[in-house]
Amino acid sequence: MIIVVCPGQGSQTPGFLSPWIEDPGARELLASLSHAAETDLLTHGTVSNADTIRDTAIAQPLIVAAGILTLNALRASGHLDRVGGIAGHSVGEFTAAAGARVLDPEDAVRLVGLRGRAMAEAAALVPTGMSAIIGGEMTDIMARLDELSLFPANYNGGGQLVVAGELTALAALAANPPAGTRVIGLPVAGAFHTMYMTSAVEALRAAAAPLSPRDPSLTLWTNNDGSVVTDGERFRDLLVGQVSSPVRWDLCMESFASAGVTAIIEVAPAGALVGLAKRGLKGVPTFAIKTPDDLVGARELIDSLA
C-alpha cells in the first residue's frame, strides 16, 4: 500500500511555491485558495521572508495550499487514485481531507485560514512555543515535563517527541534536558495541540458546523489515535478537536505498518515526514515532493508499486 502523507506547520521555507506557480493552472488554483483563506498566498509563497511566513495565520493556509497543489497534480495524471491511503500531520490533516475528498479544497483552506488566525490569537495570550526532544527514555522525559508544566504535543515516533508550553519553561528544558536527549526549538509561535489552544477550538467548531463533509474516497487515518476514519462528519469533528489535543503520528505510522505500507510519498512542502518515516518505518521507501520536477519521480514510484 502506497500512502501519501501531508506535512504540518514548520515545514514552510521562503519562496517554496515559486516553481509551482510557473504552471498557469496551479497559479489560478492558488489564487482561488488565497481568496478562500483570506490570505495572499501567492506573495507569501514566493517573496515573503522566513519571519513573515512563520506567523501561524500565514503558515497554516500556505502549507495546506502547497499540499493541495501537489495533490491536484497527482490527481490530474490519475496517480492519486492509485495510492492506498492518505494522512496528514497536524494542519496537514486538512490537506489530507481535501485529498480524500472529505472537504472541497476551498472549504479546507477556508477553515485553515480561520484556524490559523484563531490559533495566533490564542497564542498571543501567553508567550508560548514548542520544542522537539530527540532520544531519551519516555519516563524521564515525562517527569521533566511535569516539573516544568510542559505538555506533550506531537508524538512523532522514531524517538522524537514535540513538547509545548510557556517560553520560560522551554528555555529551562533546553538548559537542563532529560538524560540522553537533545532539545531543539521549533519555528512555531504557540503551544499548539495543548490547552493553550482551547479558544481556537471553539472558533473552528463554529466555522466547521455548517459544512457537509463527504465520506473519504481514500483510506484516511486520524492523528487522534492512528485509526482509519470512514465517516466524513466524524473526520470533520476530529479536525476541530485536534487543535488542542496531541498529535499521535507515532500511532499513525504503526497503523501504516499494519496496513502493509510499501512506500511513503510526502507532498509539498515535503521533508519532515519522510524523515520520521525513515526512523519509524525502517526499510519502507520514501519520496519527498518538494518541487513540480519531483512529480515525475513520484509518479514513477506509484507506477512501479501500485
Annotated active-site residue 35? The verdict is: no
Annotated active-site residue 193? The verdict is: yes
Three-class DSSP category at 227 = coil
Question: Taking Cα atoms as reference points, which of 179, 32, 164, 25 lies closest to residue 109?
Answer: 32
pTM of the model: 0.94
Q: Would you state the pLDDT for residue 158?
A: 84
Looking at residue 55, its amino acid is: D
Work out the percent of the chain whose per-residue pLDDT is above 70: 100
Candidates 2.60.40.10, 3.30.70.250, 1.20.1250.20, 2.60.260.20; CATH matching 128-185: 3.30.70.250
11, 34, 48, 90: the catalytic one is 90
Average per-residue pLDDT in the chain?
96
> In whole angstroms, how far apart are CA 234 and each of 68, 84, 115, 230?
21, 21, 18, 8
Q: Does domain 2-123+194-305 have CATH number 1.10.10.10?
A: no
User: Does 187 have pLDDT greater than 90?
Assistant: no
Q: Would you state the pLDDT for residue 131?
A: 96
User: Residues 120-134: what's their mean pLDDT?
Assistant: 94
Adjacent-strand bridge partners of 85: 3, 219
44, 79, 89, 193: the catalytic one is 193
Q: Where are the domains of the chain?
A: 2-123+194-305, 128-185
User: Residues 248-259: what's their mean pLDDT?
Assistant: 97
Residue 236, C-beta contacts closer than 8 angstroms, at least 6 positions apart: 97, 102, 103, 208, 211, 213
Give φ, ψ of 4 to 5 degrees: -90, 135
Residue 24, C-beta contacts closer than 8 angstroms, at least 6 positions apart: none
